[in-house]
Amino acid sequence: MTAPLGSVLAAAREARGLTVDDIAATTRIRASVVRAIECDDFSGCKGDFYARARLRTIAGVVGADSGVLIEEFDRRVAERVPAEQMRAEAPAQVHRVAARPASRWAVAAALVVVVIVAVLLGVHFTGQGARTAAVSLPSRAHGTQPVRTHRPSAPPSHRPSPTPTPTPTGVHVQVRTDTGRSWLLVTSSSGATLFERTLEAGQASSFSDPAKLVIRFGNAAAVHVSMNGRALGTPCNGGTCTVAITPSTTSFGTAAH
Torsions phi, psi for 215 (to 5 deg): -125, 130
- 1: pLDDT confidence band, cut at 50, 70 and 90? very low
Torsions phi, psi for 216 (to 5 deg): -110, 125
Specify which of 54-58, 74-78, 140-144 reaches the highest per-range mean pLDDT.
54-58
Give residues with Cβ within 8 angstroms of 29, minimum separation 6: 23, 54, 57, 58
Hey, how many other C-beta atoms are within 10 angstroms of the C-beta on 245?
A: 22
- 49: pLDDT confidence band, cut at 50, 70 and 90? very high
Q: Kindly state the average pLDDT of the residues 168-174.
A: 76
**How would you class 223 by CB atoms within 10 Å of its CB: exposed for 0-12, middle for 13-18, buried for 19 or more?**
buried
Nearest to 206, CA basis, from 66, 35, 25:
25
pLDDT of residue 54: 94
Q: Kindly state the average pLDDT of the residues 206-231.
A: 84
What is the phi-psi region of residue 124: left when phi exceeds 0, alpha when psi lies from -120 to 50, beta otherwise?
A: alpha
Lowest mean pLDDT among 61-70, 101-110, 217-226, 245-254: 101-110
pLDDT of residue 200: 87
- 239: pLDDT confidence band, cut at 50, 70 and 90? confident
Torsion of CA 173, 178, 181, 186, to 10 degrees: -10
Task: Measure the CA–CA gap between 252 and 92, rounded to whole angstroms.
Answer: 61
Task: Measure the CA–CA gap between 131 and 59, rounded to whole angstroms.
Answer: 92
Residue pLDDT, tens place only, 82-111: 555 545 554 544 444 344 444 564 656 677
CA 188 vs CA 44, 57, 72: distances in Å: 27, 20, 35
Predicted TM-score of the model (pTM): 0.36
pLDDT of residue 88: 54
Residue pLDDT, tens place only, 192-209: 998 888 878 888 888 889
Residue pLDDT, tens place only, 54-71: 999 999 999 989 999 999
CB 204 within 8 A of CB 225: no
pLDDT of residue 240: 85
Which secondary structure element, helix H or strand E, spans residue 177, and what is its range? strand 171-177
pLDDT of residue 159: 72
Residue pLDDT, tens place only, 9-39: 999 999 999 999 999 999 999 999 999 999 9
Computed over every residue of the chain, the mean pLDDT equals 75
Q: What proportion of the chain, given as a percentage, has pLDDT over 70? A: 62
SS3 12: helix
